[in-house]
A and B are shown apart, each in its own frame.
Chain A
Amino acid sequence: MKSFIANFEIYIALILLTGIGLLSSCATDAEKYTLDYNKEVTGEIRATLTDAPLVPPRIEAKHNTKVIVELEIIEKTMRLADGVDYTFWTFGGKVPGKFIRVRQGDLVEFHLHNHPDNMLPHNIDLHAVTGPGGGAEASLIAPGKSAQFSFRALNQGLYVYHCATAPVGMHIANGMYGLILVEPLEGFPPVDHEFYVMQSEFYTTGRFGEKGHQDFDMQKALDERPDYVVMNGAVGASSGENAMKVKVGETVRLYMGNGGPNLVSSFHVIGEIFDKVYVEGGTLTNHDLQTTLVPAGGSAIAEFKCEVPGTLHLVDHSIFRAFNKGALAQIKVVGDENHKVFTGKEKEEVYLPEGSSIQSISSGKQTSSDEVIEEKTLEERLAAGKILYNQNCMACHMELGTGIAGTFPPLVNSDYLQALPDKGISVILNGLQGEILVNGEKFNNIMPAVSLNDDQVASILTYIHNNFDNGDGLIKAAEVKEWRNKK
């Protein structure tokens, strides 16, 4: 007995210990990869750099490595819009600058070159750098000189880089920005296409579209009034024949940056929804977004799948920037239609509201006024009647009185109408419901009562009778009045 109790206590103790053990191990969840930068990197590779909208392939090495980046600064005159030239200051020859791709924990050895034909000194500040000025202090170079510095990519994310030489705003405004992606060591999950899009503004002395060579306008930049807001460095840089191309069913990841210098972008793709967004280019993710904010000097990563063919428009949804200043890029999706997702236009019809007068379902007597109505001649009735018919009846009974088969009965040579003792006055004044037979066809619909005065009713009916082969009669307003009073 004693031994059993003793054993029992031991069992309890063991269970408790196991329980505590399990709980404590569960408590530490799958922790985020923490970098130990005292650990050496192995090997070295030369980074592949690309111009927008292309993205370099990811680094294959399974371990952290040294990545050598060579970036050349070139001051160059290029097209800003059709007929408009601008002298851009570029990282790598184009605006935006080259896309750099490394992984968290890699050691980047950065070589910055300032072409000897340039006028000005430059440097670089990469937002991915933990260090003074983001590298700017270590990299100021006069034309014809180079600088080298190294940094460890400590944090994952999509980072902007830009020049930080005085006057900094002007260097940025002239095109000196780009993106550096620090992805997790194992890389982002593969998708069919990755694209690089960067929004930015240009401040020119002339207005948007004014032809010729344009200079930078400092006052407009200070006032934050850009003339151009563009995707990928020029109006139409990634649209039309330069549009990005994708097939139906393919997945896309957009690396989206905003070089500023001033504006925040409300980034939206017309015709698509972002399935996943890495908010502001960091590790926080959001889903099912229509529009995402991209801060000046910031970024976002958006993923979506192209389900239907067509052209997707990438815009800044501060919409005048998109349609009037150039903040527009395109992805052309080619392939088969998918009507389960989007049918395109199914029907196109004339839309006319039903009559210009008040319509109601008949509910009782209608009293006429005591006004004395002047009678009209046949010609007058026909003329007035035509107008009234077109306003009140044509929508359903059609211009030529043909009606619509199965829905609205015809008026042309209508045996039903001709059989009516009141010539149709009751139909207009009371409406008509229930099944009727017109020229051998069944109709079961509701015609609302039409609120017209005696004179108008007389004219309409005269027109219907005469114009649509229902006899030559002239209906008088007095007749209508009499009918009203009778009921």
Chain B
Amino acid sequence: MLFKKELAFLVMLCFVVSSVSSQNKGMVLIPSGSYKPFIKGKVDEIQVDSFWIDEKSVTNAEFSTFVDANPSWSREEIKRLFADEDYLSHWATDLFNQDSFLVGNAPVVNVSWFAAKAYCEWQGKRLPMLSEWEYAASALPQGSVDSSSLQEIIANWYSRRTLSENDTVPHYKNEFGIWDMHGKIWEWVYDFNSVQSNEDSRNMEETPEGLFCGSASLNASDASDYSTFIRFAFRGSLKGHFTVRKLGFRCVKTK
């Protein structure tokens, strides 16, 4: 047939394309851009290259497929180096067993950095860099005119405590098209240990060169942005094997 070759080529192309996009199912492409860093450094704006990010944080159901396929990451087999005693402790509770379908769609929490990283790598993805996460989270809720709607969400979260990690319902989508970057759970980032806040958060001075090479201190660009302060302080309190009831994650992928 005359068009056989072209047709064959077209058909192959279609399948390749669909297979590529199916690998990024459930992810949103964040365009390159910049954001104002919270920690004052030498630059006013941090550039971030375009990347794919999970639309939602990883759920209990998704994480359980990982654990099933990789038993060394199960509660029974995990080594203490990689996660502490509370790892996936909520999976042993009645709530999870009774409403497993519902709670299956809630964000997975009580996971360590090692476990989150392993999950993302299993998916062919990785944990987001701090700059990628902060950039993606800086977008306002869709349809808002100013940042007050975002402040409202954050206040609902840890002031009024109306939102919780066991919530299966998505709450807000931001202008990038991703859900609930704020308001449900804290999320791991790959380089959470790059923040060099002194554990006593009042030491705001430049640390003397004698202690650090090229010192970086916690100098905030906006001292009244208390919700970001809190997020950075939270990261500063973490260690890689920690599991926390309000801490989960989502994955990203280099474009």
Contact = CB atoms under 8 A, between A and B. Distances in A.
A87 B161 contact: yes
Contacts of A137: 198-200
A470 B58 CA distance: 107
Nearest to A114: B237
A125 B201 CA distance: 11
A213 B160 contact: yes
B168 to A, nearest CB: 19
Contact of B199 (A120, A136, A218): A136
Contact of B244 (A133, A144, A166, A215): A144
A31 interface: no
A189 B60 CA distance: 60
B63 interface: no
A77 interface: yes
Contacts of B238: 142
B202 A215 contact: no
Contact of A141 (B86, B237, B245): B237
Interface in B142-185: 155, 157-161
A166 B233 contact: yes
B230 A120 contact: yes
A120 B226 contact: no
Contacts of B237: 121, 140-142, 145, 165
Contact of A145 (B158, B242, B246): B242
B109 to A, nearest CB: 10
Contact of B236 (A132, A140, A143, A213): A140
Given A120-B230, A166-B218, A136 B200 contact: yes
A181 to B, nearest CB: 24
Interface string B222-255: 0110100110111011100011111000000000
Contacts of A123: 199-200
B197 interface: yes
A119 interface: yes
Given A87-B160, A165-B233, A213-B160, A219 B244 contact: no
A240 interface: no
Query: Which bracket fits the contact residues of A?
Result: 20 to 34
Contacts of B229: 166-167, 170
A165 B159 contact: no
A218 B223 CA distance: 10
Nearest to B186: A119
Main secondary structure of the interface of A (DSSP, over half): loop
B199 A119 contact: no
A122 B80 CA distance: 24
B245 A143 contact: yes
A219 B233 contact: no
Contacts of A170: 226, 229-230
A400 interface: no
A167 B223 contact: yes
Interface string B69-90: 0000000000000000010000
A167 B202 contact: no
A164 B202 contact: yes
A144 B160 contact: no
Interface string A121-158: 10101000000110011101111110000000000000
B230 A140 contact: no
A473 interface: no
A216 interface: yes
B86 A144 contact: yes
B224 A222 contact: yes
Interface in A295-325: none
A317 to B, nearest CB: 31
Nearest to B228: A167
A409 B86 CA distance: 96
B155 A215 contact: yes
Contacts of B158: 75, 87, 119-120
B245 A168 contact: no
Given A116-B86, A167-B229, A213-B160, A143 B246 contact: yes
Nearest to B234: A121
A117 interface: yes
Given A77-B161, A120-B234, A215-B159, A168 B86 contact: no
Contacts of A120: 158, 230, 233-234
Contact of A119 (B157, B203, B224): B157
Contacts of A168: 201-202
Given A133-B200, A136-B202, A166-B197, A216 B233 contact: no
Nearest to A142: B237
Contact of A142 (B159, B224, B242): B242
Contacts of B233: 120-121, 165-167
A123 B158 CA distance: 18
A89 to B, nearest CB: 10
Contacts of A167: 201, 223, 226, 229-230, 233
A143 B160 CA distance: 18
B248 to A, nearest CB: 13
Nearest to A85: B160
Interface in B196-228: 197-203, 218, 223-224, 226
A170 B243 CA distance: 25
Nearest to A167: B229
Interface in B32-46: none
Of A133, A167, A170, most buried by chain B (CB within 10 Å of CB) is A167
Contacts of B202: 133, 136, 164, 168
Contacts of A87: 158-161
Nearest to B232: A166
18 contacts: A87-B158, A87-B160, A116-B244, A120-B234, A121-B237, A123-B200, A133-B199, A133-B203, A137-B198, A138-B199, A140-B200, A143-B244, A143-B246, A145-B242, A164-B201, A167-B201, A167-B226, A170-B229
Q: Which 5 A-B residue pairings sit nearest by Cβ, starting from the closest?
A: A133-B200, A121-B237, A166-B201, A136-B200, A167-B229
Given A119-B157, A142-B234, A165-B237, 4 more contacts: A87-B161, A132-B200, A170-B229, A218-B224
